[in-house]
Amino acid sequence: MTISVRDDRRTTRTAFLLIAPALTLIALFVLAPGVLALVGSFFEIDLTSGVRWTWVGLDNFAAILGDDVVLRSVRNTLVYCVLTIVPSLAIGLGLALLVESMGRGRAVLRTLLFLPFTANLVAMAVVFRWIFALNGGFANQLLGLAGLGPLNYLGDERLALPTVAAVGIWRGVALTMVLFLAGLTSIPTAVHEAAAADGIRGLAKLRTVTLPLLRPIVVFATVMTVLGAVQVFDTVNVMTGGGPLYATETVLTMTWQLGFGYFELGQAAALSVLVLAVLIGIGVWRRRSLMGARR
């Protein structure tokens, strides 16, 4: 089809009309706030009389990096990441392999194992708070049967973060399982036959055949798990509120505290910029990693 110059111009006009609403809203509600967060991290933002911005240079960054509680929240987030990411991926992969090897009942199994991801996180956090309650909680009843406990899961500084992380794994596994399973199902039968003909099976097959073929899914599942872990908020907010004594304060709940607890909006912006830098770094790594796989 030949397109004349006039036609071309008309197409451009039509196209702009079609994309204008979406792009305007994206500019207004994603791009502008994103830029403002970046800019705002160099200002002190005062809300007492309207919104007043005062330039403070790097003071906000200096303030948060010199704040023990903020540093603790960063450390907690790292610990949370370490506790959740690898188990979520490993167990998810294991379950995906298990589900794939099942003949009958595969669909039902998949549905049941994916359920944790679909549930409302606030609701499940409420339920887990009850399961891990000091008095009468299921976890302690179970320990009681073995003559142990009770443990103050959410009230003990050492236990609170691992307990919240356990919920993170419970939910993370559901997601990675489904992603890996979709990847596994897409591997052509011929590949399995070839591997069988070459006598490759078990762990060797997983390492040399399955995982390399799953690489894009592995990267994707890793990114999703990391993003979820870095941005953990709902479960912490509902189960512990960041306590006891900041033991479960994470970067996101901390940002929240800085912004709306102490009204240090500039510092909150600075912290969210640091987190954003990490998240964008992950996004870029992922793109590069996937491109490497295609080469």
Q: Is 136 in the site for another protein (CB under 8 A)?
A: yes
229-288 residues near another protein, rule: CB under 8 A: 231, 233-234, 237-238, 252, 255-256, 259-260, 265, 268-269, 272-273, 275-276, 279-280, 283
User: Which of 64, 70, 85, 113 forms a contact with another protein (CB under 8 A)?
Assistant: 113
Binding piece for another protein, criterion CB under 8 A, among 64-72, 150-158, 192-200, 212-220? 212-220
Report d(CA 268, CA 288) in Å as an integer. 30
Instruction: Give counts: helices (H), strands (E), the chain.
Output: 14, 2
**C-beta contacts of 57-66 below 8 A and 24+ residues apart:** 59/266, 60/264, 60/266, 60/267, 60/269, 60/270, 61/270, 61/274, 63/264, 63/267, 63/270, 64/258, 64/267, 64/270, 64/271, 64/274
Q: Is 98 in the site for another protein (CB under 8 A)?
A: yes
Q: Is 293 in the site for another protein (CB under 8 A)?
A: no
Mapped onto helix, strand or coil, the DSSP state of residue 54 is strand
User: Which of 58, 86, 90, 182 forms a contact with another protein (CB under 8 A)?
Assistant: 182
Q: Is 227 in the site for another protein (CB under 8 A)?
A: yes
142-171 residues near another protein, rule: CB under 8 A: 142, 144-145, 170
How many residues form the binding site for another protein (CB under 8 A)?
96
Site string for another protein, 22-51 (x = CB under 8 A): xx-xx--xxxxxx-xx--x----x----xx
Count of beta carbons in the 10 Å neighbourhood of residue 112: 12
What is the closest distance, in whole angstroms, from the C-beta atom of residue 122 to another protein in the complex? 4
Tell me the two tokens of residue 58.
């790097």
SS3 track for 127-170: HHHHHCCCCCCHHHHHHHHCCCCCCCCCCCHHHHHHHHHHHHHH
58-97 residues near another protein, rule: CB under 8 A: 95
Q: Could you tell me which residues are beta bridge partners of residue 45? A: 53
What is the closest distance, in whole angstroms, from the C-beta atom of residue 156 to another protein in the complex? 18
What is the closest distance, in whole angstroms, from the C-beta atom of residue 157 to another protein in the complex? 20
Binding piece for another protein, criterion CB under 8 A, among 60-68, 129-137, 147-155, 190-198? 129-137
The conformational region for residue 200 under phi > 0 = left, psi -120 to 50 = alpha, else beta, is beta
Q: Is 4 in the site for another protein (CB under 8 A)?
A: no
